[in-house]
């Protein structure tokens, strides 16, 4: 099946946006929210950045999955759009609740403990990595290795979030948001725009 070059170029921009959202989220969360929970404006911004990343992921994951051959591309497309929409919904709900001072349940109904934002995103990245390393598609093999590492780190972050293990969350979340996720999406953006 031929690649839609115009859509792929637009998806490349969305991939760059995911990387930017991740880096800005890390700066906002670590610098203004983590040790200052009373800073509601920064918290709302952090949640909005998660929502933006989720929306961008719906497009970037679709075009990335199109580079994978066989039936895997359809599953990867559905998983990518699904985790992106659930993550965007969670981020939007939390940003609005924080900004308007609305009390919400600590456990998100759309993304409990980051199931979509971390767990399913990690599963998606790890699966893309496996398919790429196996030679099933047109993505660079080294990008597949990076996808595997990023995917595993996101899954560890989800496990840390479920277990409420602050140290594990800080390390895996920091590595994900500052290094692995931006590196993966910048490289993917270059491939999609190429």
Taking alpha carbons only, the member of 150, 142, 147, 149 closest to residue 129 is: 147
The ranges assigned to domains in the chain are 5-193
Q: Are 33 and 43 in contact (CB under 8 A)?
A: yes
**For residue range 79-110, what is the model confidence (pLDDT) as tens digits?**
999 999 999 999 999 999 999 999 887 778 87
Q: Measured on CA atoms in the order 88, 93, 96, 98, is the torsion positive or negative? A: negative
SS3 165: coil
Res. 67: pLDDT tops 70 = yes
Confidence at 1, pLDDT banded by 50, 70, 90: low
The two tokens of residue 62 are 């679709």
**For residue range 135-152, what is the model confidence (pLDDT) as tens digits?**
999 999 999 999 999 999
């Amino acid at each position: 099946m031929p690649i839609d070059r115009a859509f792929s170029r637009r998806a490349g921009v969305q991939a760059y946006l995911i990387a930017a959202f991740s880096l800005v989220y890390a700066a906002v969360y670590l610098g203004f929210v983590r040790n200052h929970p009373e800073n509601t404006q920064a918290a709302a911004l952090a949640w909005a950045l998660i929502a933006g990343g989720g929306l961008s992921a719906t497009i970037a994951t679709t075009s990335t999955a199109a580079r994978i051959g066989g039936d895997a591309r359809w599953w990867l497309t559905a998983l990518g759009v699904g985790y992106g929409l659930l993550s965007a919904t969670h981020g939007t709900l939390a940003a609005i609740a924080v900004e308007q001072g609305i009390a919400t349940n600590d456990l998100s109904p759309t993304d409990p403990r980051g199931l979509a934002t971390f767990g399913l995103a990690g599963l998606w990245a790890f699966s893309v990595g496996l398919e790429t390393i196996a030679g099933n598609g047109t993505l660079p093999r080294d990008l597949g290795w990076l996808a595997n590492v990023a995917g595993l780190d996101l899954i560890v972050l989800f496990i840390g979030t479920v277990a409420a293990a602050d140290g594990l969350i800080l390390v895996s979340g920091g590595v994900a948001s500052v290094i692995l996720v931006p590196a993966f999406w910048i490289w993917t953006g270059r491939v999609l725009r190429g």
